Amino acid sequence: MNKSELIEQVAAAADLSKAAAEKAVAALIATVVKTVAKGDTVALIGFGTFKSSKRAARVGRNPATGKELKIAATTVPRFTAGATFKTAVAGKKAAKKK
C-alpha cells in the first residue's frame, strides 16, 4: 500500500473526503517526524512507538574493495510494534483481558 492508497482507505473508513483524509494523514506524519526529530517519543497504544535512537560509530567494509572505512555515529528513527499490532500480523486473535 502506498500513500495514496492509504488516503483512500482512511477516507472510506472515516467517512471523509479524500482531501480531508490527505490533510489528516499528512498532519499525522508531519507531527510524528517533528516529535521524533526533537528526541521525544510518540506512543500509540496497541499500534506501536516511534522514537529516536543513537547508533554508535563503527568500522565497516567497502564491498567493492574490501577496504575498511569508518562509519560515523548518528541518530536514527526506530519503530517498535505494539502487542495488538504484533498479534494481528501474526494472524492470532488478541487475548482477552481479565
- What's the structural domain count of the chain? 2
What does pTM read for this prediction? 0.79
Write down the pLDDT at residue 45.
95
Q: Which domain holds residue 8?
A: 1-38
What is the tens place of the pLDDT at every residue in 10-64?
Answer: 999 999 999 999 999 999 999 999 999 999 999 999 999 999 999 999 999 999 9
Write down the pLDDT at residue 28.
96
* Whether residue 96 has pLDDT greater than 80: no
Encoded amino acid at 94, one letter: A
* Whether residue 97 has pLDDT greater than 80: no
- Is 55 a domain residue? yes
* Whether residue 95 has pLDDT greater than 80: no
**23 and 58, same domain (yes or no):** no
**81 and 45, same domain (yes or no):** yes
Task: For residue 83, give the C-alpha cell.
Answer: 502487542
**29 and 53, same domain (yes or no):** no
Q: What is the CATH number of the domain that holds 71?
A: 4.10.520.10
Write down the pLDDT at residue 91.
87
Count Cα atoms within 13 angstroms, Cβ side, for 24: 15
As a three-state string, the secondary structure of 47-58 is CEEEEEEEECCE
* Whether residue 94 has pLDDT greater than 90: no
Q: What angle do CA 4, 14, 83 make, to 5 degrees?
A: 85
- Is 97 a domain residue? no
